[in-house]
Amino acid sequence: MISGTLINYYIHCKTQMWLFANRINLEDNSEDVRIGKVLHEISEEKVDEVSFEGIKVDKITKDHVVEVKKSDSDLEAAKWQLLYYLYVLKQKGIIKKGRIEVFEKRKQNKKKIEVILDDESEKKLLQIINDIKKIINSKMPTPKFENQCKKCAYYEFCFL
């Protein structure tokens, strides 16, 4: 089943996406993931999560679906995750805009980024979904190592 997390991981790292999709979950062992969960729980900005159809959005307002992130480290992946949520809602007849809200601990202002599901992004999203389905059902992609890999919960697995 496709999820916002898979879309996010696809953009960020196809190996991480494949591992997660195939239920090889190493995130429970990650200190960074644990810190992120705790920060999400104790945030000054309370998040009212809404779950449906296998997706979990941080907040829905009159006009927006809001995805809250603790940093702006991978906004491209967050954008496509949010576009997926907008797409699922659109399939139900609910048309909304998206907004990514970034809360960085050392910054005074929170960053807000508008996201709109238009024809072009919807077409690319459907291509991403098809590609995810193909990758999930194939052998694990060859890991490609970059600087951000060192903080990944799956980092050690990629060396096996």
User: Tokens 């949010």 — which residue?
Assistant: 82
What is the structure's pLDDT at 108? 60
Q: pLDDT tens track of the chain, all 160 residues?
A: 899 999 999 998 898 899 889 887 655 554 544 444 544 454 444 456 777 776 888 888 899 999 988 778 889 999 999 999 999 999 999 999 999 988 765 666 678 999 999 999 999 999 999 999 999 999 887 777 776 677 777 777 776 6
Tokens of 70: 């603790």
Whether 64 and 98 have beta carbons less than 8 Å apart is answered as: yes
φ/ψ (deg, to 5) at 47: -110, 125
Distance of CA 136 to the CA centre of its chain: 17
Of 69, 80, 71, 57, the residue nearest 10 (C-alpha): 80
Long-range own/partner contacts, residues 74-78 (CB < 8 A, 24 or more apart)? 74/8, 74/11, 74/12, 74/148, 75/100, 75/102, 75/113, 76/11, 77/7, 77/8, 77/9, 77/11, 77/12, 78/8
Q: In terms of DSSP H, where are the helices of the chain?
A: 4-12, 14-21, 31-42, 75-91, 119-136
Find out whether 132 and 6 touch, Cβ atoms under 8 Å: yes
The model's pTM: 0.81
